[in-house]
A = this chain, B = another copy of it.
Amino acid sequence: MDATKRERLLKAAIKMFARDGFFKAKVEEIAKLAGVATGTTYLYFKNKDDLLISIFEEEMTPLIESMKAELAKQTSPQEKIVTFIKRHCQVVEKNPDLALLLEVELRQSNKFLHEYQGTTFKEYLDLLGNAFAEGQKAGLFYQGVHPSIFKQLVFGAVDQISTNWTLSKTKNLKLSDAAEQISYVVLQGVKK
């Protein structure tokens, strides 16, 4: 088993899925981009679906773990939230294809992805939710906003802006600036 080939296939799949979407992307082209024969794909992945699932499991999980670790280092709820936003934007900036894929395909209501959303993705969102709830408990944040609203509000905002940045050709917006503005608005918005 060639770990490199598997890795190359995953990277190629990320690129093609991001560019064409899961359904339009062709296994043959993914293989070609990875520099292997079509059939080789099936030595490393059960089928096309498995390729997508593996991307989620193997590429997204580490990012979540890394985010979790980073947030754990932050002491205040405010810092956790700001760190989440900033870091998410950095990750998008460094992995635009993966980001696009997650952003686009995560919306697809396919069974396996829906199940996936229910576990790993929820965990990711809860990093925000927990930080906010913690801040509420500490009397730092306004009580009238529910943590599950807050976490989705922030994620939705960050996701929208970073997706748009990824798709934009010009990239005349600095994503780090956007992150700061988002942070400002949402923290100011819930400040007591």
Binds B, one of A1-9, A32-40, A54-62, A103-111: A103-111
Instruction: Select which of B21, B160, B184, B191 is within 8 A of A108 by beta carbon.
Output: B21
How far, in angstroms, from A108 to B103 measured CA to CA in the complex? 9
Write out the residue numbers on chain B whose beta carbons fall within 8 Å of the beta carbon of A189. 184-190
Find out whether the CB atom of A156 lies under 8 angstroms from the CB atom of B160.
yes
Binds B, one of A64-72, A74-82, A147-155: A147-155
Find out whether the CB atom of A163 lies under 8 angstroms from the CB atom of B19.
no
Most buried by B among A184, A185, A191: A185
Q: Which of A157-190 contact B (CB under 8 A)?
A: 157-161, 163-164, 167, 173, 178, 181-182, 184-190
Q: Which of A106-155 contact B (CB under 8 A)?
A: 107-110, 114, 142, 144-146, 148-150, 152-155
How far, in angstroms, from A161 to B156 measured CA to CA in the complex? 8
Find out whether the CB atom of B109 lies under 8 angstroms from the CB atom of A21.
yes
Category for how many chain A residues contact B: 35 or more
Q: Is the interface of A mostly helix, strand, loop or mixed?
A: helix
Write the chain B residue with the least CB distance to A104.
B107
Instruction: Select which of B145, B158, B163 is within 8 A of A185 by beta carbon.
Output: B145
Write out the residue numbers on chain B whose beta carbons fall within 8 Å of the beta carbon of A114. 167
- Cβ-based interface call for A24 (8 A): yes
How far, in angstroms, from A165 to B148 measured CA to CA in the complex? 11
Write out the residue numbers on chain B whose beta carbons fall within 8 Å of the beta carbon of A186. 185, 189
Write the chain B residue with the least CB distance to A22.
B23
